[in-house]
Structure 1
Amino acid sequence: MSQPQVEVATLEPTAAATVETVLTVKHWDERLFSFTVTRPASFRFRSGEFVMIGLQGDNGRPLLRAYSVASPAWAEELEFLSIKVPDGPLTSRLQKIQPGDQIYLGKKPTGTLVTDALLPGKRLFMLSTGTGLAPFLSLARDPDVYEFYEQVVVVHSVRKVSELAFREELSSGFAEDPLVGEQAAQQLHYVPTVTREPFKNNVRIDKLIESGALFEGIPGEARLDPATDRVMLCGSMDMIKDFAALLEGMGFVEGSNAKPGDFVIERAFVG
């Protein structure tokens, strides 16, 4: 017996958002999924930025939330990484999207997790928890990043192994990527850690730094140095605040688009 068709409202563009079509959806586990949507020709962004996306709310108006773009600035499609919140106003519905569905895409990407907000350095450390990996997926596939830094380190901390989204791509150094595959093979370092299941690394990022495990196989000293290292933070609010305080205590200065520094966080997600 065939399932009844669910009638999906056709979205209308607004002054602030275009209407895009969902192309692919991948469910990593019961808590995490990613999806790609069409990219309008007029949409320009810097790798690492975020944009508002969403669906139509119960009141008929767009229900939007900020999402980091996980695809690089050169990609023809836009990719996003999301958690599934059962009672979340947006994610409870967003997790049910299928290819062919429509979503709203904001017209004005912005953000501070960009290379423009950092001073020149030798090593770039991108520290993330959960879906905070998204902007770093964008940056790790941007050729400019490998021109700016000798070593690019993506650190991803999750609770369960199944939450290590894009693990295969990161582990291979984006070997199949036509633009960064060759450079990433030499310069990209992927450091996954899982805190609630057995895994090679099974401690939080701060413990990886303290023990020196985070720096294994990475040229340079086994510590963070504000003279040569640059750091980006994205993830839970507690993680970001703790690491910001830690870095400042080590002499790192927070940067912004207006005044580049040694480390950056995404203030829009922290408050």
Structure 2
Amino acid sequence: MTQTLSSTPADTAPARPSPHHALKVLSVHHWTDQLFSFTLERPEDFRFRSGEFVMIGLPGEDGSKPVLRAYSIASPHWAEELEFFSIKVPDGPLTSRLQKIQPGDTVLMGKKPTGTLVLDALTGGERLWLIGTGTGLAPWLSVARDPDTYSRFGQVIVCHTVRQVADLAYRDFFTAGIHDDPLVGDEANAHLTYYPTVTRERFETPGRITDRIRSGDVFADLRLPIGFSPNTDRVMLCGSMAMIKEAGELLETYGLKEGSNAEPGDYVLERAFVG
């Protein structure tokens, strides 16, 4: 009797599962020639906390390794789609290609979200400041639509600093659209304040947010006591490293202490950024 040999060697190792999801692009919105947003389908088993980031990328060209960068998830944890907010870097290894995606294309996404811009990393307080520059606004789109945010804080202030007025992406959303949100619309209408600043054009609140903190203008504009208090204020920072460093030092002078997932504190920051 002739023995039939398997065509597959017995010692062949099973294929490793991919560390990435390959997800379909659902929509793309170009805000300016330097800023765009896109949404991806959400895997059924993908879970994250509002404010976390994940690796986003595209397959490498000519068979090379995928190119991935950290992106904050701009959609809240309960959303059916995943939204991201990105800059366009002409010579960027990723964004030079990512900015050309169209609905129906495929984008890679890591399977493990992480990050410190989460409510769990803050101790309790009365007022939550979400301070960002440029695309550092992305996590605030997530946190500001999380019902837990309003159950923990009586006031939520979204501060967004950009160079040009046109760079104030999502301005209409924070001033009006969020009030129609199915979960937090009423809470946002009553408790959320949007505070944009512009550095290179005429604007009613000009300059860098750190300068307006230092001068006291932001507190005067919002009719709040001058300065931050460890007893009432909690702060999240995301955006340019220069702003994060400067703002963090300012917060420390007011007595606020940096927190983390392991040890919650008065303020948190995110060092991951897109390039």
| Length-normalised TM-score, structure 1 | 0.91
Amino acid in structure 2 at the alignment position of 1:187: H
Aligned to 2:208: 204
Aligned to 1:238: 242
User: Which structure: larger Rg?
Assistant: 2
Structure 2 distance, partners of 1:185, 1:218, is: 16
Aligned to 2:161: 157
Aligned to 2:28: 25
Q: Deviations over 1:131-179 (max 9, x none)?
A: 0000011001111100000000000000011110100010126112111
Aligned to 1:266: 270
Secondary structure in 1 matching 2:70? strand
Aligned to 2:225: 221
Secondary structure in 1 matching 2:31? strand
- Deviation, 1:214, is 1.9
Aligned to 1:15: 18
Structure 1 distance, partners of 2:264, 2:60, is: 38
Whether 1:170 and 2:174 are equivalent positions in the alignment is yes
- What is the aligned length? 258
Alignment of 1:171-186 (within 5 A): 171-172=175-176, 174-186=178-190
Gaps of 5+ in 1: 1-12
Amino acid in structure 2 at the alignment position of 1:32: L
Aligned to 2:61: 58
- Deviation, 1:62, is 1.7
Q: Deviations over 1:18-41 (max 9, x none)?
A: 110001101000110000000000
Does the 8 A contact of 2:120 with 2:261 survive in 1?
A: yes
Structure 2 distance, partners of 1:78, 1:153, is: 23
Secondary structure in 2 matching 1:81? strand
Amino acid in structure 2 at the alignment position of 1:127: I
Change (3 A) 1:22 1:181: same
Change (3 A) 1:36 1:87: same
Structure 2 distance, partners of 1:161, 1:14, is: 45
Secondary structure in 2 matching 1:93? helix
Whether 1:188 and 2:229 are equivalent positions in the alignment is no
Gaps of 5+ in 2: 1-15
Secondary structure in 2 matching 1:267? coil
